[in-house]
Amino acid sequence: MYIFRDIHPTLHASLMALAAPVFDKVEPDHWVGSHPDGDTGDEYCPTCCQKAVDNINAGKTADGTESLSNDQLEAIQEEPVFVDGGWTSEYDKIPRCTTCDVFLTGSLTDTAIDGELSHYEQHGSGPESGKIEISSPEKAYELLELAEAGLSDNQIGRLEAFIPSVEVATQTVKGE
């Protein structure tokens, strides 16, 4: 079994140190249950999910900016929406709250893993080829999420191919 922190202990430690402020704020993943439009693909932290549910049950869109259609209103009258989730679901990208952008718990599908791998591969072969700079807590968190996802042998090979190019900034640049 591939355990990133055992194979790259120094890199793992510096990523963990940089990502610490993000890890402190990760929230359990939630979504609007029984949404009249079905699965909207929107994930939320618990606080924002409660607000979205309150907005919808008050006859507004999740963000509270517009009124629902008559069909949607009828649907909620029959079956009010509710705060659903709270366990770790699977996502096609690293999940973040639709409203406040905080990272959410979740495991990554193959689609998400391949997307992340491609992202780093493109960086590695770009004009500033050779270096993948990890300069913010968010970037450090995202790389750890990828490295610690359940990778296939092929995905491990792709990860290991760019890992030597990764440089972790020791201090974050403000305003970036």
* Residues found near Zn ion in the complex (CB under 5 A): 45, 48, 97, 99-100
Taking the complex as a whole, how short is the minimal distance between the CB of residue 47 and Zn ion, in angstroms?
A: 6
With 0-12 / 13-18 / 19 or more C-beta atoms within 10 angstroms meaning exposed / middle / buried, residue 68 is buried
What are the angstrom distances between the C-alpha of 99 and each of 73, 82, 102, 104?
22, 17, 8, 12
* Residue closer to Zn ion (CB basis): 12 or 145: 145
In sequence order, which residues have a C-beta less than 8 Å from that of residue 77 and are 6 or more positions away?
none
Taking the complex as a whole, how short is the minimal distance between the CB of residue 12 and Zn ion, in angstroms?
A: 28
* Residue closer to Zn ion (CB basis): 22 or 45: 45
* Residue closer to Zn ion (CB basis): 60 or 119: 60
* Residue closer to Zn ion (CB basis): 81 or 159: 81
Taking the complex as a whole, how short is the minimal distance between the CB of residue 104 and Zn ion, in angstroms?
A: 8
Taking the complex as a whole, how short is the minimal distance between the CB of residue 126 and Zn ion, in angstroms?
A: 32
29: left (phi over 0), alpha (psi -120 to 50) or beta: beta
* Residue closer to Zn ion (CB basis): 24 or 128: 24
The DSSP secondary structure of 98-157, one letter per residue, reads: TTT--BB--EEPHHHHHHHHHHHHHHHTSTTTT-EEE-SHHHHHHHHHHHTS---HHHHH
Q: Which residues sit opposite 166 in a β-bridge?
A: 132
Taking the complex as a whole, how short is the minimal distance between the CB of residue 11 and Zn ion, in angstroms?
A: 30
